[in-house]
Amino acid sequence: MSVTPASRRRQAPPDQASESTYLTRERQRALYESHFGFVWRNLRRLGVSEAAAEDAAQDVFLVVHRRHDSYDARWSRVETWLFGIVLRVARDYRRSQRRRRYRFDSSADVEDVLERRVVADGDPDAALTRRESVALLESALDALGNKKRAVLVMVDIEGFTVPEAAEALGVNVNTAYWRLRAGRAEFERALTRVRGFHKYPEVSS
């Protein structure tokens, strides 16, 4: 079974679809407000540095504006369509970072952001636990190849179905399942290595 990306599916004639199935200008603004955090955190999980994540997120929504007419709610969830854009923007930023030979510690970046938020809520012990858990997660994700990392983030972290991940990635469902299985195995091995090296505690589910 294969899933055809929404951008390749034949659109129905205008008289067969209501305006509510498309991204009007108002809905684009609402999408920015409601999904900016979704975009930012997944850019980070896909290897974009904190220093570049804000600009990368803005680029994602510029693409949303340019390609809004390629989205149709009858074919897919907006999050699936949006994640496909996140994947492409993250890939471009990773390439740019490699060309600049820019080395960053993505774990530390995410830890610091989350720690500041938790400490602001008055719970430094929770901040330390959260910092350690995020560091473990990010370090293990960094050990994966980009294709396996993408499907693992979509399915196991963001809760997409495998067919939705396949649609966003532009691959068939069997390929997505294979990448997920292989990614999970590599992720578990990476967790064991990172946990042993850093002596992190178990991550609570």
Q: Could you tell me the domains of the chain? A: 19-104 (1.10.1740.10), 105-205 (1.10.10.10)
Alpha-carbon distance values, 64 to 25, 32, 108, 119 (Å): 10, 9, 30, 34
Q: 52 or 119: which carries more pLDDT confidence? A: 52
Residue with the two structure tokens 């990368």: 56
Question: pLDDT category, 20, cuts 50, 70, 90?
Answer: low
The predicted pLDDT at position 54 comes to 94
The predicted pLDDT at position 185 comes to 93
Q: How many C-alpha atoms does 96 have within 13 Å on its Cβ side? A: 13
Measured CA to CA, the distance from residue 203 to residue 6 in angstroms comes to: 36
Q: What is the mean pLDDT of the segment spanning 113-124?
A: 47
Q: What is the mean pLDDT of the segment spanning 121-142?
A: 65
- Determine phi and psi for 99, rounding to 5 degrees: -65, -35
SS3 166: helix
Structural element, H or E, at residue 57: helix 50-66
Mean pLDDT of all residues in the chain? 76
Is the per-residue pLDDT at 175 higher than 80?
Answer: yes
Q: Report the percentage of the chain scoring pLDDT > 70.
A: 66
Instruction: Please list, in sequence order, all residues whose beta carbon lies within 8 angstroms of the beta carbon of residue 91, skipping any fewer than 6 positions away.
Output: 146
The predicted pLDDT at position 127 comes to 52
Q: 171 or 107: which carries more pLDDT confidence? A: 171
Q: What is the mean pLDDT of the segment spanning 52-67?
A: 94
Q: What is the mean pLDDT of the segment spanning 83-109?
A: 70
Condensed to tens digits (0 to 9), the pLDDT of residues 68-89 reads: 888 877 778 899 999 999 999 9
Instruction: Give which of 103, 193, 99 is closest to 140, Cα–Cα.
Output: 193
Instruction: Please list, in sequence order, all residues whose beta carbon lies within 8 angstroms of the beta carbon of residue 26, skipping any fewer than 6 positions away.
Output: none
Q: Are 195 and 156 in contact (CB under 8 A)?
A: no
Count of Cβ atoms closer than 10 Å to residue 37 Cβ: 10
Is the per-residue pLDDT at 131 higher than 80?
Answer: no
The predicted pLDDT at position 126 comes to 54
Structural element, H or E, at residue 119: helix 106-120
Q: What is the mean pLDDT of the segment spanning 59-63?
A: 95
